[in-house]
Amino acid sequence: MLRVDVAERPNWQALAHELGFHFHTIEGAPYWKEDAYYQFTLEQVERDIEAPTEALHEMCMELVDKVCHSNALMQRLAIPEFMWDAIHHSWKTGQPHLYGRMDFAYSGDGPAKLLELNYDTPTSLYEAGFFQWVWLEQAIEQGILPRHADQYNSIQERLINAMAHLGDRLERRTLYFSCVKGSDEERATVSYLQDVALQAGLNAPFIFTEDIGLQPGNTHFMDLDDHPITAIFKLYPWEEMADDAFGEQVPLLDTHWFEPPWKAILSNKGVLPLLWEHFEGHPNLLPAFFDTDKSSALSPGWVRKPFFSREGSNITLVTPAGQREAVGGPYTDSPCIQQAFHPLPHFKGKHALIGSWVVGDRACGMGIREDTGRITKDTSCFVPHAII
């Protein structure tokens, strides 16, 4: 694994705006960076990223089945009791899911180590599935990359196929799409998925999460025109829905959600110690345990993560050498886990994290985020990759 400096494409910012990538710069700082790329061999990708991703995904599905049949495990994950039946029902009836992302520490030397799962509302999908592929094609055309360069990326193709499969199961082939107001990144991600759905032959109306309605006597959630929402994709975390008043109606109504309620199990960092309990010693897993006393001092060589933390919020780590890093955030009341520290590869002052994508139960691509700190955050830059 190498970080290779290259020239940027001329006028790529104008192309980004044309293609709807309006958040390539966040608060004046670059989010997308293409003055370098990460280079892999085909063997590294197939052996060290793709194969472990599929193996870990199967382990996760096995674990979901265990949790769905155990109230004790639901309690250990701090999942509200009123959600248990909906989670169990969605798994038992085989409600399909769409996608997920595993985050790995991997340097090309030794097995990739799973740091966490993003299996409910993973972002950076547009950048990974579409914009970095555009970069690859144009970088080859412009002589920035050799003509034999490739990329581990069939994300969009897999998404279209998965959407087409979902459409066969949906009433009037209609899938609503939703996110909260005020987030350019989330709106762009949902817009991308809407476009994918249209390419797959679905009807794909949009509604903001705040505008989803309830109507007494109706068996579904409603849109702004009082039409029943039979199926909806939400870029909104299950744990936050569980805290909302209308979240309590989810188990009572017939609207199908994507991702389905059983994804609440895999979007919870408590799944990491459960994976270690059930598959201890697996080469792609790190030791992880439930932290029952998050007020205690963190030992060197460990990371503390809240169950429901996102984008690096409220994570604290202490390296084996005693260096401490922490990111603040809103997840102060969440129970926590501790996970063994494993360093991210370090290139010219940047720590690189690999996000490995799963669509329709198949590993299909990756995206790389980098940061000057050891904790990947919402401001961490996205850098493309190539197989050479």
Q: Which residues contact 287 (CB under 8 A, 6 or more apart)?
A: 276, 280, 339, 340
Token representation of residue 302: 């460990």
Q: How far is CA 171 from CA 94, 168, 180, 334, in A?
A: 17, 8, 25, 38
Q: How far is 156 from 168, CA to CA, in rounded Å?
A: 19
Per-residue DSSP letters for 121-172?
S---HHIIIIIHHHHHHHHHHTTSS-TT-B-SB-HHHHHHHHHHHHHTTSGG
Tens-digit pLDDT profile for the chain (388 aa)?
999 999 999 999 999 999 999 899 988 899 999 999 999 999 999 999 999 999 999 999 999 999 999 999 999 999 999 999 999 999 999 999 999 999 999 999 999 999 999 999 998 999 999 999 999 999 999 999 999 999 999 999 999 999 999 999 999 999 999 999 998 889 999 999 999 999 999 999 999 999 999 998 899 999 999 999 999 999 999 999 888 888 889 999 999 999 999 999 999 999 999 999 999 999 999 999 999 887 788 999 999 999 998 888 999 999 999 999 999 988 888 899 999 999 999 998 999 999 999 998 999 999 999 999 999 998 899 999 999 9
Angle at 184 between CA 130 and CA 4, to 5 degrees: 45
Q: What are the pLDDT digits (tens) for 149-206?
A: 999 999 999 999 999 999 999 999 999 999 999 988 899 999 999 999 999 999 999 9
Q: Which residues contact 48 (CB under 8 A, 6 or more apart)?
A: 106, 108, 111, 112
DSSP reduced 3-state for 207 = coil
pTM of full prediction above 0.85: yes
For the chain, state the CA radius of gyration.
21
DSSP secondary structure code for residue 297 in this structure: P
**Identity at 227, one-letter amino acid code:** H
CB-based contact 104:354 (threshold 8 Å): yes
Give the HSE-up count for residue 366: Cα atoms under 13 Å, Cβ half-sphere: 32
Q: What are the pLDDT digits (tens) for 255-276?
A: 999 999 999 999 999 999 999 9
CB-based contact 373:329 (threshold 8 Å): no
